[in-house]
Amino acid sequence: MNKEVLIVAGLASKGSNLAPLKMLGELLSDSSQAYYIDGAEYVNGQLETSTPSMQLEKITNKIRSNPNNEYLIITQSLGAIAAVNALDSEYNIKARVLSISPPLPMPNKVLGHQRIKDIMSHNANRVTIPSYSFALANNGPSDIPPKPVDVIITKAYFDEIDQASNNFLEKMESAIQSGALQIVSPINDWNKEGISVAKKFNNTIYVDATHSLQTDQKSLKKICEYISKNMN
């Protein structure tokens, strides 16, 4: 039986350009290939946030296309919403979720965190957020730092985040108790409240890293190897 890895990126992020997710996917799968579900997509030439329901549809479609395979879903930050929802019994899929820096205690509190507010822009009735991971996809020579591209945070995204916040923690707790979900909590995460909440779960993996796990390649490899060895 093959093990397939699905990588679900967080807000306005391109999964295949996020080194921590890519490295983890390679370590934890049978091959170097992973299926990426981005946190934004192009609509009429403009990047817009992918809502949790859009990401959920891609997760379930992928798993149903090969239901006999084993699936591990790796998520980062707000990408956890879609993955946790995919574990609902109504979808009848079998998968495990490894959630890095999940949006605890509630997604709308994370989206409303001052760290996020500081990088949001409000122009002409639009809310945008800069994305470096999408900029990397179109960047020129590797020695030129990419300029971020703006991603529109749609009203639908805000609405779904508010809706998910009603019972997100309860769903996380249920999935952890069933053995379907494990949390990775970076101790230097800017979401300090999320770190506190993660402490209540006895299978949480703690790593000396930031919210996104971004660091140099040598340190990142050690972090990813530590995570892979400590998964239940």
Q: Is residue 72 part of a domain?
A: yes
**pLDDT number for residue 11:** 96
> Tens digits of per-residue pLDDT, 7-21?
999 999 999 999 999
State how far the alpha carbon of 164 is from the alpha carbons of 71, 111, 198, in Å: 23, 12, 18
| One-letter amino acid for residue 114 of the chain | Q
Q: Is residue 152 part of a domain?
A: no
Q: Is residue 124 part of a domain?
A: no
Q: Is residue 225 part of a domain?
A: yes
Q: What is the mean pLDDT of residues 40-48?
A: 94
Report the predicted TM-score, pTM, of the whole model to 2 decimal places: 0.94
Higher pLDDT: 92 or 154? It is 154
Question: How many domains would you assign to the chain?
Answer: 1
**CATH number reported for the structural domain that contains residue 7 in this entry:** 3.40.50.1820
Q: Is residue 195 part of a domain?
A: yes
> Tens digits of per-residue pLDDT, 119-171?
999 988 899 999 999 988 766 556 677 889 999 999 999 999 999 999 999 99
| Domain span holding position 30 | 3-40+50-107+167-230
pLDDT at 35 over 80: yes
Q: Is residue 18 part of a domain?
A: yes
The number of beta carbons lying within 10 Å of the beta carbon of residue 125 is 6
**pLDDT number for residue 78:** 98
Look at 52-61, 130-139, 182-191, 222-231 and tell me which has the smallest mean pLDDT. 130-139
> Tens digits of per-residue pLDDT, 103-118?
999 999 999 999 999 9
Q: Is residue 143 part of a domain?
A: no
Closest CA to 76 of 27, 13, 167, 148: 13
Cβ atoms of residues 181 and 87 within 8 Å: yes
Q: Is residue 132 part of a domain?
A: no
pLDDT at 80 over 70: yes
**pLDDT number for residue 142:** 60
